[in-house]
Structure 1
C-alpha cells in the first residue's frame, strides 16, 4: 500500500501531549495527521456521557496549576468551573480528610492545635528509630509516624503498587504533604477546576480542523505510517517503539466498575479513597460532583466508578510507570536511542516513562514546540 497523503507531522496518540502538539503544529502552518488506536480522541482525558453526566472514563482528572501561562492557554479553549479537590479516605468505615491536615489529626487523635498535632507526629517519628530509610515503609514512618502510615498509607499503597511497602523503594514517597491548618484543598496550586462541559470540549477544540483517525494502530502497519510524514511525534510506549530490545518496561494499570444508581447523591464527594485491604478497590469516584453547576446535578440518578489497580498486561492500558531502579535503568537505554533520532520526537507519560500532571504535559509541549518551530 503506497502513501497517498503527505504530512509534515504524524502524531501517534491523541492524548494531551499529542493534541497540544497538533494544535501548535497547525498554528505554525504544518500539515498534521493524528492517529490513535482507541476509538476516541483525548487519551485518558476522554469523558463518556452517561445519564447526562460526564464520566471520567479513565479515572479522576482535576486540572490544577500555578503556571499562569498554562492556565491561560487552556482557558483559550474552554471555561473552567471552581471545583476544588477535597478527597476523603475511608478506613474501616471511618472517614478522614486528605491531604493530612488538622481535620485529619483531630479525627485520629482529638488534637485541636498545630502544636498538639506536631507533638504526636514528632513522638511517633522518634519512636520509629529510623534515621536512614531503606524502603517505603521506613520512609513513611520516618516522615509521619505509625498512625498515619498504618491507617492512611500502608494498605492503600500496597493495593496501588501490588507489593508490600517494605519491598517498595523509599524514593516513591520522598515527602508526604502534612498541613497544620484546617484546609482540605488537596492541591497547593493557584488555579484549579474542571472544564465546564467536560474534557472532550478541550480536546475537540485543540483538534479543530485537524485530521484525526481513531481505531488506527501505528504498529499494525508501521512501515506505511513511517512514510506518510516528514516527522513523527510518538506518545506511546517508548519500549514498544524500539521493539522492546532492552526488555519491557513495567507499568501499573487501572480498571473500573461503573454503576448507575437511582439516587441523587451517593457519597457526597467526588473522590473517596479506600485505604484498607477490606475493599479490593482503591477509590470510588462519583462523577457528578466534578460539575455541580450542571443542570443535571440534582437529578435522581448518579454514576459511580470503583477503581482497581493491578499489574499491567499486554491487553490492558498502561497507566503508571513503575519508576524503580531496574525500570529506570532500562528506560535510560531507550532514552539514549531516542536522543539520536532526527525525525522522531517523544513526549507524554508513556514515551517519557514519567508520571506527569496535566499542566506539566502542556508546559512541556509548549516548550518543545517553541524549540521545534
Structure 2
C-alpha cells in the first residue's frame, strides 16, 4: 500500500500532523521504535497514578488556537505549576517572588526586596563573563547561591564559572506573592493523563511499534509520498558532520506506601551536594487521592549514544553543526524534519503543536 505520509516517531509533532492529515482525508503510516506511542509525553499507570515516564510535562500556552485545539481532544484540569525549592532543608517558593524574598530576608514589601536585589547586583561590574556573573547581575548573590548555582551546575555538569553567560538570558523575578510558575494564560494537565490526548490524535491511524525507521531506511520512503522524521537529524545523516550534543536525564521511580510524600508535584533540590535535580510526585498533577504515591528522582547527565537525548546544548559549536545538517536536509525535498530532535531545539508542548500546524499548512 502507498501512503501519503510516513511518520518516523509518534511524539506530539507526528501526532498533530497525523491528525490533521487524517482530517484532510490523507493516509498515514506511523513507525515507532519504542513499544508505546506518545514520545516523551507517554504516561505509565502505576498504583492508579498516571506517571510521567519521561519527566514532568505541564501544558501551558498563551495561544488560544492551540488551547482550543487540545481541549477539543481531551478535557484539561486546573493544575497550576507551583514548584518549591529545597536548599539544604530550607524551603523556598518558585519562581522567585515575594514569598521567596520574605522567607530569605525576613521582609514584607516589594520595595524592600527591590532594594536588596539592586544592591547585590552591583557586585558585577561590566559585561558578565560567565553564567555566575550573569545570574548575580540579574538576581543578586543570595538568590544565586541558594536557588540557581547548585541546580544549574547539576543540570550542566560544570561549574557556573565555566558556563557561558548566554545560557541564562533572564531570570524571572516577581515582586508579587504569586507562586504560579508560568505567565501563560492557559495551563493544565489532560484528565486521565497525556495518553488520552495522544490516543485521540492518532485515532484511526495505522501505527507500528517496535520499528526503527533507520534499520530499513530504503524500504519506508518507497511506501509514501513524503516522510516526516522526528528522530535526531544527525543520526539520520549518519553523523556525517559529527555528533550534536545533548544533556539527558536519568529517572529513579519508586512507589511509596504513603498517600502524600512532598505535598507538591515538583521539588527542586538546589544545593550541589544532593545528586538529583528534583523529585516529581506524579499524583499531584491530577489531584490524586490514591492510598500510595509514586515519585521520580531526576539526575542530569551528559548524553551518550544509546541514551535518550533530552536537552540540546545550544552553544555556538552545536548551532553551527546543526545548521550544516539543516542545509543538507533542505536539499532533500521528500523528507521533513520536525520536533525537538529533528530541529535540534528545546520545545514546550504548545510550541511543538504550533510548529506542526504551521508545517501542515505548508505541505497540505
> Within 2, Cα distance between the matches of 1:362 and 1:190?
17
> Within 1, Cα distance between the matches of 2:72 and 2:150?
42
Q: TM-score, normalised by structure 1?
A: 0.96
> Which position in structure 1 is the counterpart of 2:61?
65
Contact 2:49 2:290 in 1 (8 A): no
Of 222, 240, 243, the match for 1:245:
240
> Which position in structure 1 is the counterpart of 2:260?
265
> Within 2, Cα distance between the matches of 1:223 and 1:164?
45
- Does the alignment pair 1:105 with 2:101? yes
> Which position in structure 2 is the counterpart of 1:331?
322
Gaps of 5+ in 1: none
> Within 2, Cα distance between the matches of 1:327 and 1:166?
20
> Within 2, Cα distance between the matches of 1:314 and 1:70?
34
What secondary structure is seen at the aligned counterpart in 1 of 2:308? coil
What root-mean-square deviation, in Å, do the aligned CA atoms of Structure 1 and Structure 2 show? Answer: 0.8
What secondary structure is seen at the aligned counterpart in 1 of 2:217? helix
Contact 1:130 1:138 in 2 (8 A): no
> Within 2, Cα distance between the matches of 1:233 and 1:168?
35
Deviations 1:52-71 (A, max 9, x none): 00000000000000000000
> Which position in structure 2 is the counterpart of 1:197?
192
> Which position in structure 1 is the counterpart of 2:161?
166
> Within 1, Cα distance between the matches of 2:116 and 2:19?
52
Of 219, 228, 248, the match for 1:224:
219
Deviations 1:243-268 (A, max 9, x none): 11110000011111111111110000
- 1:341 Cα deviation from its structure 2 partner: 2.1
What secondary structure is seen at the aligned counterpart in 2 of 1:69? helix
> Within 2, Cα distance between the matches of 1:242 and 1:133?
38
Of 263, 283, 288, the match for 2:283:
288
> Within 1, Cα distance between the matches of 2:362 and 2:152?
39
Q: TM-score, normalised by structure 2?
A: 0.99
Runs of 4+ in 1 over 6 A off after TM superposition: none
What secondary structure is seen at the aligned counterpart in 2 of 1:105? helix
Q: How many residues align?
A: 364
- Does the alignment pair 1:78 with 2:74? yes
What secondary structure is seen at the aligned counterpart in 1 of 2:307? coil
> Which position in structure 1 is the counterpart of 2:292?
301
Contact 1:14 1:43 in 2 (8 A): yes
- Does the alignment pair 1:145 with 2:136? no
What secondary structure is seen at the aligned counterpart in 2 of 1:307? strand
Of 90, 114, 118, the match for 1:118:
114
> Within 2, Cα distance between the matches of 1:337 and 1:110?
57
> Which position in structure 2 is the counterpart of 1:346?
337
- 1:131 Cα deviation from its structure 2 partner: 2.2
> Within 2, Cα distance between the matches of 1:349 and 1:136?
25
- 1:130 Cα deviation from its structure 2 partner: 2.9
> Within 2, Cα distance between the matches of 1:151 and 1:124?
14
Contact 1:131 1:142 in 2 (8 A): no
Deviations 1:79-133 (A, max 9, x none): 000000000000000110000000000111112100100000000001x233211
Of 42, 45, 48, the match for 2:38:
42
Deviations 1:210-237 (A, max 9, x none): 0011111011111112221111001110
> Which position in structure 2 is the counterpart of 1:25?
21
> Within 2, Cα distance between the matches of 1:134 and 1:341?
41
Deviations 1:324-347 (A, max 9, x none): 111111001111112222111111
> Which position in structure 1 is the counterpart of 2:361?
370
